[in-house]
Structure 1
C-alpha cells in the first residue's frame, strides 16, 4: 500500500500540472460516473492527508482518492498539440490540463492536455464537498508531513493504549500516513521493541520517533522513495527485492543478518500485517 509520502508527492505534482486552469476529467472505465460534475472546472490545487489525496476544484468540490493496496497513477507528458494516448486497461479516472494552442482563440479550450494522469485500481474515487474533506481529515491522526500537525494528539492515544506500539503506528486514527515500511524502519532506528505496549512507551521516545518520521517522510516526498539507512550503516549492498529498490534496515530483510548487530531479522504477523524487526537491536 502506498504510504503517506507518495500521496503528498502526488499532491505536489498534480498541483504543478493542473492548478489555475480548467481540466478534462473522464472515466474510461465507466465506474467513476461523477466525473461529469468536475469535468471542465478550474483545478485549484491538490492536497494530501495521510494516505488520502484530494483534488480541489472551483465551486467548493473535491475529488477524494484513496489508493488502497493496488491503486496508482500513470503520468503521460503530451508534447505540443498531440492527442493524448488512448487509455489502456482499467483506468478509473483520467485528468488532463487544457492548453490553448491557438493564439487567435482566447477561449482557453482549444488543444489537448499537456499532462495527463490515469488513476488505476483505487479503493476510493469520489466527488465530495469541501466540508466533507474536513470530515475525512478529522477522522485521522496527525500527519508527520503536515507542518501544522499536533503530535500530542497521537501521544495522548498511544500512552493510554495497551496495544503494541508496532500496531499503533499503523493505525491511521493514531498517526496518518505511516505504513508498513516506515513503521518497521522507524522502530528499528529508535531501538524499540515493536511488541512493547503503548502504556510502556516514554514520551521522549515517541517524540524522537515523530521527529524521525517528519524527516524521513520529507525525504520520501522529495525523492519518491523511502530512504532510511544512516550513512554509517550504508555498505553499498544490493537490496533484497531488486537493484532498483531502496535498501532498508529490516523491512523485507527477514532471514538476513542485521546491518548493525548481525542478528537474524525476524518476521511475524501483527494485527494482520507483516512485521519485520531485529531481535538484537530491538530487544525488550
Structure 2
C-alpha cells in the first residue's frame, strides 16, 4: 500500500507540473467519465497532501480527492520538471529512478517503489519521459503524443506537455471546499502538514485514551495520518515497543518518540522516495538498501529471519487484517 511519503511526493509532482496549467481530463476506464467531463478545460490551482490522501484544486473552488488505497498509483509521462526540494538517495536532485538522464548512475529499486514516472503501488509503467529543468537528455520511445492508454486508467489528466494517469484508487471523487474540509477534519495529524508540536500533543492525547493495541492505533488514519504497514512495523521496532500494548498503557515518552520518529522517517521517505528505516549504514550498505527493500528495514518482511539486533526470529501475525512483523525479544 502506498504510504504517506508517496502521496506527498505525488503532490509535489503535481505542484511542479500541473498547478497553473489547464487540463484535459478523460476516464479511459469509464468509471469517472462524468467527473472527467467537469474537470476538462479547468486550470489546476493548488494541491494538498494529507496522510494517504491528495486533493487537487481546480477553478471555481472545485476539488478532486484521490485516495490510492492498496493498489492505486499515478503514472506520469511527457515533460516532467523535477521538484528541486526532492533529492535522490545518492545526492542528485529529483528521484532516484530517473531514465534518460546524463547524471551519475542512479540507485535503482527493483521493486519499483522509487520511480519518477510511477508513484504509488509498485508497478512497471509503460510510459515515456522527457525530463526537464534539473535533468538532461531524452527518454522518448517514439510513441505519439499523448501516450497510448495502458491498462485500466480511472483518470487521465493532460496538459500540453505532461500526462498523469491514475490507476486502481480506492477513491476518486469531486468535492466542494466544505467537503474537503470535512474529509481532512476526520484525519489524524500529519507532521508535514500540521504544526509538529501541536500534532505531537494531539497524537499523544488520543493514543493515551485508547484501550486499543498501539500497533493497531498507528494504522488508524483518524489517530495519525500516513502510516501504513511498513512504517508501522519499523516505528514500533525502533521504539522497542510491543505492538500489543494498549495505547493508554504506552509511556508518554515512547509515544513522543514514535511521533518524532515518524516525522523523521517521513521526511526521508519524501526526499528519497523509499521507506528507509535503518540508520548509520556505511556507503555500500546504504546503496544496497536503496536498491533493495530487503536491506532497508529492521523487521518488515523478515518473518523467520534473525533480528538484526538480537538474533531472535522475527515473527509475523495478523493485526486488524494486516500483517504485523516484530521481534518478540527486542519488543517484549
Same fold per TM (> 0.5)?
A: yes
CA distance in 2, matches of 1:53, 1:21: 18
CA distance in 1, matches of 2:64, 2:77: 20
Does the aligned pair in 1 maintain the 2:51–2:227 contact within 8 Å? yes
What TM-score, normalized by structure 1, do the two folds share?
0.88
Q: Which runs of no fewer than 5 residues in structure 2 stay unpaired? A: 80-129, 131-139
- Per the TM alignment, residue 145 of structure 1 is displaced from its structure 2 partner at its CA by 2.2
Is structure 2 residue 78 aligned with structure 1 residue 16?
no
Runs of 4+ displaced beyond 4 Å: 232-235
- Alignment partner of 1:236: what SS? helix
Does the aligned pair in 2 maintain the 1:47–1:54 contact within 8 Å? yes
Q: Which residue of 2 aligns with 1:256?
A: 305
CA distance in 2, matches of 1:23, 1:182: 35
Structure having the higher Rg: 1
Q: CA RMSD in A?
A: 2.0
- Alignment partner of 1:199: what SS? helix
- Per the TM alignment, residue 235 of structure 1 is displaced from its structure 2 partner at its CA by 8.3
CA distance in 2, matches of 1:190, 1:278: 12
Q: Which residue of 1 aligns with 2:5?
A: 5
Q: Which residue of 1 aligns with 2:221?
A: 172
CA distance in 2, matches of 1:49, 1:192: 26
Query: CA 1:151–1:192 in structure 2 vs 1: closer, same or farther (change >3 Å)?
Result: same
Higher relative contact order (CA 8 A, sep 6+): 2
What TM-score, normalized by structure 2, do the two folds share?
0.76
Does the aligned pair in 2 maintain the 1:3–1:179 contact within 8 Å? yes
CA distance in 1, matches of 2:325, 2:148: 41
Does the aligned pair in 1 maintain the 2:76–2:162 contact within 8 Å? yes
Q: Which residue of 2 aligns with 1:87?
A: 149
- Kindly report which structure 2 residues correspond to 1:227-242, keeping only aligned pairs within 5 A, or say none: 227-231=276-280, 236=285
Q: Which runs of no fewer than 5 residues in structure 1 stay unpaired? A: 98-112
Query: CA 1:281–1:11 in structure 2 vs 1: closer, same or farther (change >3 Å)?
Result: same
Does the aligned pair in 2 maintain the 1:227–1:247 contact within 8 Å? yes
CA distance in 2, matches of 1:226, 1:259: 17
- Alignment partner of 2:22: what SS? strand
CA distance in 2, matches of 1:213, 1:18: 29
- Kindly report which structure 2 residues correspond to 1:14-163, keeping only aligned pairs within 5 A, or say none: 14-32=14-32, 33-77=34-78, 83-97=145-159, 113-148=160-195, 150-163=199-212
Count of matched residue positions in the alignment of Structure 1 and Structure 2: 265
